[in-house]
Copies of this chain bind each other. A is one copy, B any other.
Amino acid sequence: MPGNTFGTLFQLTTFGESHGAAVGGIVDGCPAGLDLATEDLQRALDKRKPGQGGATTSRREADTVHILSGVFEGKTTGTPIAFQVINENQHSADYDNLKNLFRPGHADYGFFQKFGLRDHRGGGRSSGRETIARVAAGAIADVLLAASGIYVYAACEELGGIPVRSLEMEHAFDRPYFSADESVIPLWDERVQAARKDMDTLGGITRVEIRGVPAGLGEPVFEKLDARLAYALMGVGAVKGVEIGDGFAAARATGSSNNDPILPGGRFASNHAGGILGGISSGQDIVVRCAVKPIPSVPRKQDTIDTEGHAATVQVGGRHDLAAIPRCIPVHRAMCSLVVADMLLMQRRMGRGDGAYRQF
């Protein structure tokens, strides 16, 4: 398949450029009979908007979503759910000077190499605006997951090198930066201010925890649950690393300390594995972390080449975020929702009840 479809049974196909007419997508495979309202999508999209903390752009984006199909009298019908957000407030002229230049660290060069031409306005298809479709679809997946008792939490765990000191996943979505720790927020504010003064940008680490996942999800040997999560998250812009459970720390542990002893009732004495054993959910909380690189749009002069291959310099103006965090966090959350929804339907094909074996 070409690259704009995600998932096997709960399947999302997306479209849209930053400065095109609209961005949106089609969710195919959502079971019939679920309660779904436009507000479910809008609420999720609102969390993706600027203004969740000091690191985001001053652009005003309304991003009003419309559902075009697949819902009748408030319920999903089992047919494709199409949705879209009309692009407004575009300042395409802001990008005129970038028409023939490749911004370092951006997708410009790759797209040009791949397709031989590109829509340079606002990054075109490589813009962060394509994530609108991911977040809206994630909200649809969340409705399915909620009906199965599954909930996905996401938070910022580190920003500009400053980690949180506690993990309060349940409260993160209501805080600036979606921070897992309220106490670190002033430090992050300072760090962001300093970076802005330096004309520089910051990276960080995001964390997703998925609770209530029944044991048994994941399809060895290639569609393992951890493989699908890594695929889903590494495909989000700016992500350069993905960890499940202890991740790279596990590489330095010994087997005796890294194993999670199994207890009666299908509980575990620890969760180094991050809720996944042999690529299959164990019933524990699923824990995933992503490394998010600093946004490449630094407001400094940078060396590059133009589309003719000649040396040039580029200075990125426009209205840009200082870090992908926090805006990427609802996106990471949505991708995890999509993966689990898909794996849930995959397991249902077995004709076994969800979580039938969870209790001994």
Contact = CB atoms under 8 A, between A and B. Distances in A.
A184 interface: no
10 contacts: A4-B80, A33-B116, A77-B118, A112-B357, A227-B231, A234-B244, A240-B274, A261-B304, A263-B303, A348-B349
Contact of A240 (B160, B222, B245, B352): B245
Given A13-B5, A125-B79, A203-B251, A31 B350 contact: yes
Contacts of A256: 198-201, 298, 300
Interface string A45-59: 000000000000000
A93 interface: no
A199 B255 CA distance: 9
A101 to B, nearest CB: 9
A75 to B, nearest CB: 7
Contact of A226 (B235, B249, B274): B235
Interface in A122-151: 124-126, 130
A22 interface: yes
Contacts of A348: 348-351
Contacts of A23: 69
Given A72-B118, A104-B262, A269-B303, 11 more contacts: A1-B9, A5-B222, A20-B70, A109-B215, A110-B280, A202-B254, A203-B251, A230-B234, A240-B250, A255-B295, A258-B294
Contacts of A200: 254-256
Interface in A288-325: 291-298, 300, 302-305, 308-311
Interface in A82-127: 82, 84, 102, 104-119, 124-126
Contacts of A305: 262-264, 266, 360
A85 to B, nearest CB: 11
Nearest to A201: B255
Interface in A238-293: 239-256, 258-266, 269, 273-274, 276-283, 291-293
Contact of A294 (B68, B204, B229, B255): B255
